[in-house]
């Protein structure tokens, strides 16, 4: 008995490794003169082709979905939603509308996504189930919006809500980006000027003053010593700077480092409060959109959990548990720190009026306006302060360089 039981362990281990090493392949095949795209999990490409053939298809080619994911550009979800909405409002049914978009779209990334979507619909799957099979193109929020509309039959209205939601979110992001462009350019130009002075001008002056033998001011001596050091070790410092920048880029690509950096930013009093308001604005806008579409509150909370920071995700889980126990939404969100005084009052009014979804979108709009005012105030204050600091640094460097010349001119007089 012992000799028979022993070989089973390696077999189980190999099976476990096979499952871990399996990849998802997209197989292009033909059956009954119809081209289809199959999603197959297999160990390698030949295995995927064999599985397609065993299902009664004639395989043509197979491509790893991971490779497709990295080679494709991001699927234009907003454009897809707008075009699909226009076709549905024109009287086409869902399959006809997506077929029209697939014929029109000649880009590889869009064509493949729409073909896979059509294949799932041809097989009798619901639209939300077909979307859920391609998470790289259709996020969970979009899938939840469509799934809620399938219960009420108002897909065009759901698409309209999602388009309005994405445009509003994008508007706030554009404000943040546009407000940061000028300070970034100013810091870049100022930094280059300072580097030019310290890396080129200061070493030149250090050689001029080196043989004078005169007594220089202390700060001028420090600056010139820096120039001499930079001239001797400039190449090594340049390599070190490049390595530091590369290490920072690699670190920013790691989720753990980004999470740690976000936690540090949240600890800054003024900035942390604004980051919290930004998170709450997205939270309320998304939750309101789902509730207006008919999504149950607990499912809606689960769908928006990925939009929140890790600290607020824990609060959202506690709020979900409280709502599941029968507590009002406003009380549950307030006790877990997911409201402000204004939001709490508006939520209470929404609960009494039975329009909690509309009220959440109004809260999000209030938060967006508050953030826009703060961004405008901060940029108006930060830009002149930044210009003043850069001007002071450049002025001090130039003054320290020319101070010995001023003293020499005074001695000659």
Q: Can you give the residue ranges of every domain in the chain?
A: 18-71, 77-167, 181-413
**Domain 181-413 is of which CATH architecture?**
Up-down Bundle (1.20)
Task: Give the length of the chain.
Answer: 413
Q: Are 355 and 374 in contact (CB under 8 A)?
A: no
Indicate the DSSP class of residue 307. Answer: G
Instruction: Cite the DSSP H helix spans in 77-154.
Output: 77-89, 94-104, 108-122, 127-132, 140-152
CA 52 vs. chain centroid, Å, equals 36
Residue 214 confidence (pLDDT)? 55
Residue 109 confidence (pLDDT)? 61
Q: Is 61 helix (H, G, I), strand (E, B) or coil?
A: strand
pLDDT(69) > 60: no
Q: Is 39 helix (H, G, I), strand (E, B) or coil?
A: strand
| DSSP H or E stretch at residue 156 | helix 155-196
pLDDT grade for 9, boundaries at 50, 70 and 90: very low
Q: Bridge partners of 30?
A: 35, 58
Q: Hey, what's the torsion of the CAs at 76, 77, 80, 82, to 10 degrees?
A: -120
pLDDT(23) > 80: no
Greatest Cα pair distance in the chain: 110
How far apart (Å, rounded) are the C-alpha atoms in residues 380 and 110? 42
Q: Are 192 and 393 in contact (CB under 8 A)?
A: no
pTM exceeds 0.85: no
Residue 171 confidence (pLDDT)? 80
In 3D space, the residue among 253, 260, 258, 308 whose CA is nearest the CA of residue 283 turns out to be 308
Tell me the C-alpha to C-alpha distance, in Å, between residue 405 and each of 200, 214, 298, 394. 19, 11, 75, 18
Kindly report the number of other CB atoms within 10 A of residue 327's CB atom: 15
Region 108-115 average pLDDT: 77
387 versus 168: the higher-pLDDT residue is 387
Q: Which residues contact 320 (CB under 8 A, 6 or more apart)?
A: 298, 301, 302, 332
pLDDT grade for 401, boundaries at 50, 70 and 90: confident
**Domain 77-167 is of which CATH architecture?**
Up-down Bundle (1.20)
* Torsion angles phi and psi, residue 29, rounded to 5: -145, 170
pLDDT grade for 34, boundaries at 50, 70 and 90: low
Q: Are 159 and 85 in contact (CB under 8 A)?
A: yes
Judged on CB neighbours under 10 Å (0-12, 13-18, 19+), 138 is buried
């Amino acid at each position: 008995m012992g000799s028979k039981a022993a070989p089973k362990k390696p077999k189980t281990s190999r099976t476990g490794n096979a499952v871990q090493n399996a990849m998802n392949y997209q197989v292009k095949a033909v059956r009954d003169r119809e081209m289809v795209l199959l999603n197959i999990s297999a160990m390698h490409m030949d295995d995927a082709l064999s599985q397609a053939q065993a299902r009664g298809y004639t395989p043509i080619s197979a491509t790893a979905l991971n490779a497709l994911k990295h080679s494709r550009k991001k699927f234009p979800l907003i454009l897809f939603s707008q075009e699909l909405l226009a076709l549905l409002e024109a009287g086409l049914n869902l399959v006809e509308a997506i077929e029209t978009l697939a014929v029109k779209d000649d880009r590889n990334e869009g064509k493949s996504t729409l073909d896979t979507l059509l294949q799932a619909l041809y097989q009798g799957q619901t639209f939300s189930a077909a979307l859920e099979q391609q998470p790289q193109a259709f996020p969970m929020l979009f899938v939840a919006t469509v799934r809620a509309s399938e219960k009420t039959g108002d897909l065009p209205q759901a698409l309209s809500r999602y388009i309005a939601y994405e445009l509003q979110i994008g508007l706030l992001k554009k404000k943040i980006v546009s407000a940061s462009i000028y300070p970034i350019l100013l810091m870049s130009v100022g930094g280059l000027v300072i580097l030019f002075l310290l890396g080129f001008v200061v070493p030149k002056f250090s050689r001029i003053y080196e043989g004078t033998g005169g007594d220089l001011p202390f700060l001028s001596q420090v600056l010139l010593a820096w120039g001499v050091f930079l001239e001797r070790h400039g190449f090594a410092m340049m390599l070190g700077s490049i390595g530091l920048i590369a290490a920072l880029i690699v670190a920013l690509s790691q989720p753990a480092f980004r999470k740690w950096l976000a936690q540090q930013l949240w600890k800054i009093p003024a900035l942390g409060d604004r980051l919290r308001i930004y998170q709450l604005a997205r939270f309320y806008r998304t939750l309101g959109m789902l509730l207006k579409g008919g999504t149950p509150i607990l499912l809606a909370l689960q769908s928006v959990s990925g939009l929140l920071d890790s600290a607020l995700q824990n609060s959202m889980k506690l709020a979900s548990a409280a709502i599941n126990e029968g507590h009002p939404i406003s009380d549950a969100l307030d006790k877990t720190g997911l409201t402000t005084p204004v939001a709490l009052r508006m939520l209470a009014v929404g609960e009494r009026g039975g329009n909690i979804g509309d009220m959440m979108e109004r809260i999000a709009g209030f938060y967006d306006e508050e953030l826009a005012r703060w961004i405008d105030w901060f940029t108006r204050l930060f830009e002149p302060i930044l210009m003043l600091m850069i001007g002071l640094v450049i002025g001090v460097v130039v003054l320290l360089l020319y101070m010995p010349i001023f003293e020499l001119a005074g001695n000659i007089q």
